[in-house]
Amino acid sequence: MGDSHRYQTNDELPTVNNPIEATTQKNFLKHVILLFCAAGILLLASIQTQSTKRSTHPWTFFFEEEHKLDIDEERNQAIGLVTGFSGHMERKFELLSLKSDEEKNQLWHEFKKLYGKEYRSMEEEKEKFGVFLANLQTIDTYNTRNKGALHGITKFSDMTRDEFKSMNTLQLQTFKQDVNNFIEKAENFVKSVVLGESHISAPDLDDCPACSRFPELKDFLSEGKLPEKFDWRTYEAVTPVKNQGLCGNCWAWAAAADIEASWYLAGNDLVTVSAQQMSSCAPDSLCCVGGVMATGFDYVIENGGIATEDDYPFVDGMGKCSECLTVLSVGDNQKVHISKWSSLTSLDDELKRDLIRFGPISIGINAQPMQFYQGGIDAPDDCDPQGLDHGVVLVGYGSAEADSEGYWIIKNSWGPDWGEQGYYHISEALGACGVGELSMKSFV
């Protein structure tokens, strides 16, 4: 899509071809488990210019400059209204695959217009249109099988499942063995494991760094009964959702959000730290093609801190890695600091307890069911809990009042136009796509 003369789509739809077959997967493994990120596939520059306009599209979210949800009545009648972060939703949807050819063509035109889609040739657009039509059936399958969530047309709707997976894949068999070894060692070392020369240590089981800023949290922990719901956003410990664009550096954004919260809970101002600096400067970083949160943590410790995003902004949104800017990555610019990190392997109630006492936690997740997610509590039944391929941040948990099903609240890095204003709600049941299998936390 980098051609200077791109094929501009016209009013006549191309003939439908079969969906594109799987693209070549990238396999990397470097010293530690490398999380290959489910990158935001396209930079949606057109959204910036359209975001203040009222939506007339029957199936999509629009966000104003403040990233507030703006959904019109036509869209509500088509596929549903997601309301807030509580997991409640008025779930109305149509079976998109049963729409007429004319309606499907209209959906395709609206999809291209909204997301600024341009293809290099007529042939490529034919293929992408075929993929789009096939994905309408997949969306319908998700919506009929999963009653708690809403799936629909997203920025990833012209990608095959294998194309989407290729953005966040790794050597699965090797990864599974590493995860098993990781968990076994973690149990032996009381919820910690030494990875190379990482600055890692086991946290005190009674420690509560977050309690120094919010003493009332001690009540939750001392009473032995965790609250039904908890969300670090209500404590203003979470910065706005970011968009990694074409750069597969989800690991850096996850590490950055983790560090931001740790710094804030230690009594400092909440600031956004530079994911770009971690991607470009960390010695073990593969930048836009993969990494793990530990890589970022170790770099920040050894570097004596990290700059804020204001001082070292993100520029790799098109997927091309930038060289480390030494002048920005040393000295007084390093305003945020951590001293160590710990690798947690707790699940369920233990993970909730750790979330309350330590703050937001960076985790790995299997991103496969997230391609068409728009809201609600997702409960995928075909998600490998050990197929971790994406770095995200756990910020809270809750229960839906209708059925009391617990769910995790996860901050993603695909922009606020994806999911529930950039967040993902996934059920605690069914292994939750590996939530808790790989959890890492920084400490000031």
pLDDT tens for 413-440 read 999 999 999 999 999 875 679 898 889 9
User: Catalytic annotation on 250?
Assistant: yes
| Strand, helix or coil for residue 432 | helix
Q: Report the distance separating Cα 214 and Cα 265, nearest Å.
A: 8
Catalytic-labelled residue, pool 168, 390, 425, 433: 390
What structural domains and CATH numbers belong to the chain? 45-166 (1.10.287.2250), 172-443 (3.90.70.10)
The residue written with tokens 């480390």 in the block is 324
Tell me the chain's radius of gyration from C-alpha atoms: 21
Neighbours of 243 (CB within 10 A): 21
pLDDT at 40 over 50: no
pLDDT of res. 430 = 58
Catalytic-labelled residue, pool 247, 250, 287, 321: 250
Selection from 14, 26, 82 nearest residue 287 by Cα: 26
pLDDT tens sequence across 276-311: 999 999 987 888 887 889 989 999 999 999 999 999
One-letter amino acid at 179 equals V
Phi/psi of residue 249, each to 5°? -110, 40
Q: Report the distance separating Cα 14 and Cα 86, nearest Å.
A: 42
DSSP secondary structure letter of residue 227: -
Catalytic-labelled residue, pool 146, 168, 366, 412: 412
> pTM, whole model, 2 decimals?
0.76
Selection from 120, 122, 114 nearest residue 17 by Cα: 122
- Of 46-60, 115-129, 210-224, the poorest mean pLDDT is in 46-60
